Amino acid sequence: MPAALVRRVLICLAVAAPALVVRLSGTHLWPVAEMLLYGAAVVAAAFLLAWAAEAAQKDISGALAIALLALIAVLPEYAVDLYYAFRSGSDPEYLHYAAANMTGSNRLLLGFGWPLVVIVGLVVARRAARARGARAPRFLALPEKSRLDIGFLAIFGIVAFAIPAMGAIPVWFGVALVIGFGLYLWRAGRVDDGGDEEFVGAAALIAGMPTVARRVTVGALFVGSAAIILLSAEPFADALVASGSSLGIDSYFLVQWLAPLASEAPEFIIAVMFALRGMGAAAIGTLIASKVNQWSLLVGSLPLAHLAGGGTAALPLDARQIEEFVLTATQTLLGVALLLALRFHGWAAIALAALFAVQFFVTDTTGRYVLSAIQAVLAVTLLVVNRHAILPTLAAPFRRARPAPLAPAEPVAGMRS
């Protein structure tokens, strides 16, 4: 194993070690201390997991690799979210936390992650264009094969509106979403990307190892990170709730935003690293795939975890969670509408980030529904403008994929130099 990789792994293990010692010894600390301790362990494990998942693309080609990377990178988020859903089956106090982590991480990914990657990608592409004396690109271009992910996201995003309409997530609905995720993986596995993957950071060190050593290393990182996550997820989730009371902060706020920020930090960093290397299309593609699995596998698993924890055959949603689902679903619809033309403009990234920031200042129910309406109106407007791309996008998940060139005939910000 390369010395540089060993150092990075040891740093992550050193960060996670205190939490493991506290957990295995049965020691209990001040809730805020536990939140920070176990949160740090989750972040460290998420880095190990993300490195292993990215390096695994060396042995798995095509869109399936991106889909699996997106899935594995958010496993820490799944662990925390499913714990809340499971606990809610026997403890009604946890009911309003069950979907909080999901709606927060979903909006964080689209409202912060997408704009960040696009802006970084455009800055890098414009610098490269100036160095060549070429015209600076005005948008990040996505390849035609991205319609598969966008199409699935559109379908799941539309279906998501049924959740607030029902006021609950029934088990049958969850099973249908999980099956939909399986269909997504199957379709992604049939897409030919026509090229080799590029790796950055620790993943590049792993990918450069001999085949047997690489696979052993990837397997060891998967097992080690999974063990850390499993040991840390439950106390981290409980510490978040207890810390809210201890600090006088809304526990719902901590569950909805702090936990996703910790679990998704490595994914954001990897995507930004891709963008910094001029691989903007790959970066945004990974984050789009993450949105797909959040709206399918993660949401679908919540009622199953609730049932397994002793709950009913439907995960009930209170008024606040219904409001959160409406806000999250309209944001997703807006994101899909922005992607239909396979062009992500800088102004669109700024608008998404601004709408995301506004919600932290608009905290009342009426204001949240007004914000949802604004997002819906913007989405419908963009759908009308890009109406020619609606049917091809919705049909992409069901038709046989064929390799295609990048759509725009303008300097492409998403291409590798």
Neighbours of 168 (CB within 10 A): 18
Stretch among 48-52, 168-172, 200-204, 354-358 having the lowest mean pLDDT:
200-204
Whether 288 maps to a domain, the answer reads: yes
- Tens-digit pLDDT profile for residues 13-32: 898 898 889 888 888 888 88
pLDDT at res. 409? 40
Between strands 139-141 and 314-316, the pairing is unpaired
DSSP string, 187-214: HHTT----S-----HHHHHHHTS-HHHH
344 assigned to some structural domain: yes
* Domain presence at residue 409: no
Taking the chain, what is the end-to-end CA distance rounded to the nearest angstrom?
29
| DSSP designation for 96 | G
Vertex 343 angle, CA 341 and 344, to 5°: 125
Least confident of 74-88, 171-185, 316-330, 400-414: 400-414
Residue 108 lies in a domain: yes
- At 99, is the secondary structure helix, strand, or coil? coil
- The whole-angstrom separation of Cα 156 and Cα 164 is 14
Question: Hey, what are 216's tokens?
Answer: 């052993």
Residues 298-329: tens digit of each pLDDT: 899 899 999 998 888 889 988 888 999 999 99
Residue 137's identity, in one-letter code, is P
Asked if residue 404 is part of any domain, the answer here is no
Supply the mean pLDDT for the chain.
81
Strands 168-170 and 139-141: unpaired
Nearest to 62 by CA among 232, 186, 205, 231: 186
The CATH number assigned to the domain holding 271 equals: 1.20.1420.30
In this structure, is residue 98 part of a structural domain? yes
Which residues make Cβ contacts (< 8 Å) with residue 268, sequence separation at least 6? Answer: 112, 113, 116
Please state, in angstroms and rounded to a whole number, the distance separating the CA atoms of residues 301 and 182.
13
Q: Provide the 3-class DSSP secondary structure of residue 400.
A: coil
Instruction: Provide φ and ψ at 314, rounded to 5°.
Output: -150, 135
State residue 63's pLDDT score.
Answer: 54
pLDDT at 200: 62
Span 41-64, average pLDDT: 72
Mean pLDDT in residue range 181-205: 70
Q: How does strand 343-345 pair with strand 314-316?
A: unpaired
How many separate domains does the chain show?
Answer: 1
Q: Please tell me the predicted confidence (pLDDT) of residue 266.
A: 65
Q: Using the predicted structure, report yes or no on whether residue 35 has a pLDDT greater than 80.
A: yes
DSSP result, 134-189: PPPPSEEE-BGGGHHHHHHHHHHHHHHTHHHHHTEEEHHHHHHHHHHHHHHHHHHT
* Report for 129-133, 239-243, 384-388, 406-410: range of highest mean pLDDT: 384-388
Residue 257's nearest CA partner among 364, 115, 100, 94 is 100
Confidence at residue 405, expressed as pLDDT on a 0 to 100 scale: 43
Considering only CA atoms, which of 51, 56, 54, 45 is closest in space to residue 17?
45
pLDDT at 216: 84
Residues of the chain with pLDDT > 70, as a percent, come to 87
- Domain of residue 315: give its range: 3-398
> 3-state class of 343 per DSSP?
strand
DSSP string across 325-380: HHHHHHHHHHHHHHHTTSEEEHHHHHHHHHHHHHTTT--SHHHHHHHHHHHHHHHH
Which residue intervals of 189-279 are DSSP H helices? 201-207, 211-247, 251-253, 259-276
Structural contact between residues 169 and 302, judged by C-beta atoms closer than 8 angstroms:
yes
- 262 versus 187: the higher-pLDDT residue is 187
Specify if 21 maps to a domain. yes
Helix (H, G, I), strand (E, B) or coil at 406: strand
In the numeric block, which tokens belong to residue 278?
């001029």
Whether 326 is in a domain gets the answer yes
Phi (first) and psi of residue 170, to 5 degrees = -65, 155
CA 225 to chain centre: 18
CA atoms within 13 A on the CB side of 243: 23
Query: How does residue 192 score in pLDDT terms, banded at 50, 70 and 90?
Result: low
Burial 224-238, CB ≥16 within 10 A → b, else e:
bbbebbebbbbbbbb
> What per-residue confidence (pLDDT) applies to 64?
57
Which amino acid, 41?
A: A
Cα 389 to chain center, whole Å? 25
Distance CA 57, CA 388 (A): 34
Per-residue pLDDT, 413: 42
Q: How far apart are CA 114 and CA 94, in angstroms?
A: 30
Residue type, 366: T
